Structure 1
Amino acid sequence: MRFFLGLLLLLSIAGCSGPDIRDYAAQQPALELSDYLNGDLEAWGMFQNRSGAVVKRFHVALTGTWQGDVGTLDERFTYSDGSTERRVWTLRRQADGSWRGTAADVLGEAVGEVSGNALHWRYQLLLKVDGEQYVVDFDDWMFLMDGRVMLNRARMSKWGVDLGEVTLSFHKPAK
């Protein structure tokens, strides 16, 4: 019995580890949020439940504007079922280079770090499902692929239990 408890503890600790943002420090092109998230962008994405089934698909029209180290990112979602949603982020670069973000449906602040081509965000979101509202945790990674494409993978959980994953592909128009 002790063996199985020890194994369970070891597996749960191993499950909490993940990549470190500094692992991407040398990766190019370097992500500068105020450059990439400036102007109009589009994204296409999907939510997969924990078994991998695609539950929801969506398109996002985004507009980013900046005043120094403070940006506004206006996201307009259109889901495959025809429903729509809007989220307006305020993004602030901190003195230490980290990022903080707020939005109406984000509890507290999103906390993020950029290193190389990667951004790692963590935040809690008020998620509406079938007329109910739930607080879920997001562990959100974005990777700049080139000057026009950024890929995003976010794990969604509640009380440490995996609920599913959001995958997005951002596209910036050619200049």
Structure 2
Amino acid sequence: MAAALALLAGLSGCVSAGRLPPARADAPALDALGFFAGQSCGEGTLKIALRRPRAVTVASVGRWGSDGGLILDQTVTLAGQPATQRQWQLRRDGPSGVAGSLSDAAGPVTGRIEGNRLHLRFTMKGGLRADQWLALQPGGQMLHNVMIVRKFGLPVARLDEVIMRENR
């Protein structure tokens, strides 16, 4: 067990938790569900420990469910791999909370909205813990998305992405 923890500690040095998108006074407040209603697209880079960074693109279509929550269907393409599908189901949970599910998560998704940022947390399959920060940028049409994935509390992967709303 000690050897495994030492290996993980060494691997985490390859992936930095780095800087997160800052809260910005010059950006509008984030309507975390409303931003994703309709079409959006994301482009970014995924860095996994001991692997080369890879380009990732995400095409999203969001619609309102009968319960007033958001259903977000996504096609995720990681360079060199076939596209995969996933679905988020999110709803407001109190004045600044978000709750729901993600098809490739191992449990519930929880989140908190603070000004122009949304912080989501969930457990991925394999016991990986994900912390995701989405920060609305000035103009209200673009989000900066940073997701840090941890194993035993150590960062093992990082996604940096820009998400743009389409046709609005």
Please indicate, yes or no, whether the TM-score normalized by the shorter chain is above 0.5: yes
Instruction: Give the drift of 1:164.
Output: 2.1
* Structure 2 CA distance for partners of 1:34 and 1:162, relative to 1, 3 Å: closer
Return the match for 1:135 from 127, 133, 146: 127
* Equivalence map 1:85-164=2 (5 Å): 85-126=84-125, 134-145=126-137, 146-164=139-157
Q: How has the CA–CA distance of structure 1 residues 66 and 56 changed in structure 2, closer, same or farther, with 3 Å as cutoff? A: same
Three-state SS of the structure 2 residue aligned to 1:36 is: helix
In the TM superposition, structure 1's runs of 4+ consecutive aligned residues that sit over 2 Å from their partners are 23-28, 53-56
Say which structure, 1 or 2, has more relative contact order (CA 8 Å, 6+ apart).
2
Check whether the contact 2:68–2:91 (CA below 8 A) recurs between aligned residues.
yes
Matching residue of 1:71: 70
| Higher fraction of strand | 1
Letter in 1 for 2:152: W
Pick the structure with more helix per residue: 1
Preserved contact between residue 107 and residue 124 of structure 2 (Cα < 8 Å): no
> Is the CA contact 2:33–2:90 (under 8 Å) kept in the aligned structure 1?
no
Question: How big is the shift at 1:174?
Answer: 4.1
Q: CA deviation at 1:54?
A: 4.0
Instruction: Give the structure 2 partner of residue 3 of structure 1.
Output: none
Root mean square deviation of aligned Cα: 2.4
Question: For the pair shown, which has the larger CA radius of gyration, 1 or 2?
Answer: 1
Structure 1 runs not aligned, ≥5 long: 1-17, 127-133
Q: For residue 5 of structure 2, what is the aligned residue in structure 1?
A: none
- 1:12 — aligned with what? none
Are the equivalent residues in 2 in contact too, given 1:142–1:153 (CA < 8 A)?
A: yes
Quote the residue 2:12 is aligned against. none
Under a length normalisation based on structure 2, what TM-score does the superposition of the two structures give? 0.78
Relative to structure 1, the CA distance from residue 41 to residue 49 in structure 2 (aligned partners, 3 Å threshold; closer, same or farther) is same
Matched length: 148
The letter for the 1-side match of 2:101 is T
